[in-house]
Chains A and B, each alone.
Chain A
Amino acid sequence: MQITALGDSALIVRVRDQFEDAPEETLNEVFRAFQLLRDAGIPGVIDLAPAYTSVAIFFDPMVVAKVSGKPGELFDWLTEQVRKIVTAGAHRGRRVRSTRTVARPVEIPVCYDPGFALDIGRVAEQAQISTSEVVDLHSRSEYRVACIGFVPGFTFLAGLPKNLATPRRDVPRKEIPAGSVGIGGAQTGIYPLRSPGGWNLIGRTPLQLFDPIKDPPTLLCPGDRVRFRAISREQFAAFAEGSQNDN
């Protein structure tokens, strides 16, 4: 575990150096550290941000200075607390498995219709398979939310079958519709909001991924296990209409 200052009001706890060689175990460790830190409620800690191999901790230096009683060494004090919490939890986890991360399974309906899948041909060409095989492969795999970022609710999913990996588009699109499912390098993800973006679009979900008035504001949370279920254009329309009626 490596702890580095991210400015004077945040720090990064790197749980591992690498991600690609063991994504599943790395994410388990990251989310265990995340949960332990969240449950510990260190005074002055105001936000936590897990991502791939790390958990960032945002803090109010004034509060930490007060609580630590050592205003001049508040960073060292905080680092020590973090180490204690994460390592103690790791030992406990190994012994009784009580803190094992429970990953929530979520199914996301996706319409892979050519009208939505603007770049599926590029992905198929890259993988040297047919577009229907791309759909099969993409919707048969299980993914894990490695982190959420870029815009609120944008999910970076780990677990894309290796041959579907496709480089980002050279020229990003200025506007991508909300719900678009894309492939960017070795990752797949969903655009929650209309936004610019450079990923290869292969489908669209009718679900709303980000809603600021809900708690939590995102449909998917870091660590969730995700599966895509292929739906038809008609089912997509019915879904979209149904969710409109909910409002």
Chain B
Amino acid sequence: MNAVVTQAGFLTSVQDLGRTGFRQFGVSTSGALDPFALRVANVLVGNDESAGGLEITVGGLQLRFGDERIVAWCGGEFDVQIGSRVLPAGHVAHLQRGKELKFVRAQIGCRCWLAISGGIDVPVVLGSRSTDLRANFGGFEGRALRDNDVLPLRTWPGSPPPATGISSWTAPHDWASRASRHPNLRFIRGVDWSRFDDVTIQRFTQHEFSVSPDSDRMGVRLDGPELKRQDKTDLISEAVAPGTIQVPPSGKPILLLGDCQTIGGYPKIAHVITVDLGIAAQLRAGDGVRFSEVTLQDAHRLLMERERDLERFRIGLSLQRA
């Protein structure tokens, strides 16, 4: 069974939770830029958390379903419609065969993740269904979706849900929709924090940076007060990760996202914590962003709390379905 892409939109790609285990070969993570949002959407439709879904950028996607499916989406503030009805973030919709699902455009933020019951049935390449858009492999033919593509869907193992239409219950709001025009991102000190002087650190932590238009899935480019290093020595390239904020010689920081390279030679001033990566994934040109420091212990505690809450939500949902 399948879904027809009647309109592909600005940039839509098949993604799951990303690719791990191949960094030594230079293979990036790829994957949903907010893996947590895709996990929540997958849990909502009864999928395995790691099932393949769609990442929709800015909007414009239109899908027609070849059979009955349950869908849910999480991410930015998008206007999503099923016929004339609105499907809000974090709700579950039961779609009849032939129905159309339409992502009009993002009001706030720029990305969202759609889960379809059964998941998208593209081949697993290097352990993942994610599209590597830079190296052109994985996902749907290694590329972004185009008009008239036919997306293969897996058969849903669960029994068909009793209700039809759109659910009244929902995922917690701050999970379903995390976009903001002026977010605050929490960070822990970077590997090269001590290479920056007090003035630079003060600039980094007290000013708002604006998101530059040349941002993409590799990274968010930021404009703001110049960040300067104290020393001039060339650094030896080493690993970077999604969340790393590196400072090139231009003094304009880059916040790396899921498609970033595996290694880099620029100094790393900070790392955005895992629970805030989903907020970073929503940044679009003109948004303003501030950074505030937390400890590594705090970052881990926040992550564990969120995982515990997701586990409770999952149990609650399965009781409701039983």
Interface residues of chain A, those whose CB is within 8 Å of chain B, are 4-10, 12, 14, 18-19, 34, 46-54, 56, 58, 61-62, 65, 71-75, 147-154, 156, 193, 195, 210, 212-213, 216-218, 221-222
Contact = CB atoms under 8 A, between A and B. Distances in A.
B263 A149 contact: yes
B274 A217 contact: no
Nearest to A214: B126
Would you call the interface of chain B mostly helix, strand, loop, or mixed? mixed
B141 to A, nearest CB: 12
5 contacts: A4-B191, A10-B239, A49-B23, A53-B238, A62-B304
Given A5-B296, A7-B244, A49 B263 contact: yes
Given A47-B21, A151-B134, A210-B135, A54 B238 contact: yes
Interface in B1-49: 20-28
Contacts of B303: 8, 61-62
Interface in B211-261: 236-241, 243-244, 261
B299 interface: yes
A36 to B, nearest CB: 14
A5 B237 contact: no
Contacts of A151: 26, 134-135, 261
Interface of B: 20-28, 125-126, 132, 134-138, 188-189, 191, 236-241, 243-244, 261-263, 268, 271-274, 296-297, 299-301, 303-304, 307
A247 B318 CA distance: 47
A106 to B, nearest CB: 15
Contacts of B21: 46-47
Would you call the interface of chain A mostly helix, strand, loop, or mixed? mixed
B20 A149 contact: no
Given A6-B244, A149-B263, A51 B26 contact: no
A148 B135 CA distance: 14
Contacts of B268: 6
Contact of A8 (B22, B23, B125, B273): B273
A62 B273 contact: no
A58 B25 contact: no
Contact of B27 (A8, A19, A71, A152): A152
Contacts of A54: 236, 238-239
A175 B135 CA distance: 13
Contacts of A56: 23, 238-239, 241
B126 A217 contact: yes
B145 to A, nearest CB: 19
A52 B236 contact: yes
Contact of A217 (B22, B134, B261, B271): B22
Given A7-B274, A48-B24, A153-B26, 9 more contacts: A6-B241, A6-B268, A7-B272, A47-B22, A52-B237, A65-B304, A148-B26, A149-B261, A195-B134
A7 B244 CA distance: 7
Nearest to A212: B137
Given A6-B268, A46-B20, A58-B20, A65 B300 contact: yes
Contact of B26 (A19, A34, A75, A154): A154
Among A4, A46, A216, find the residue whose CB has the most chain B CB atoms closer than 10 A. Answer: A4
A58 B23 contact: yes
A6 B261 CA distance: 15
Contact of A49 (B24, B132, B189, B300): B24
Contacts of A222: 24
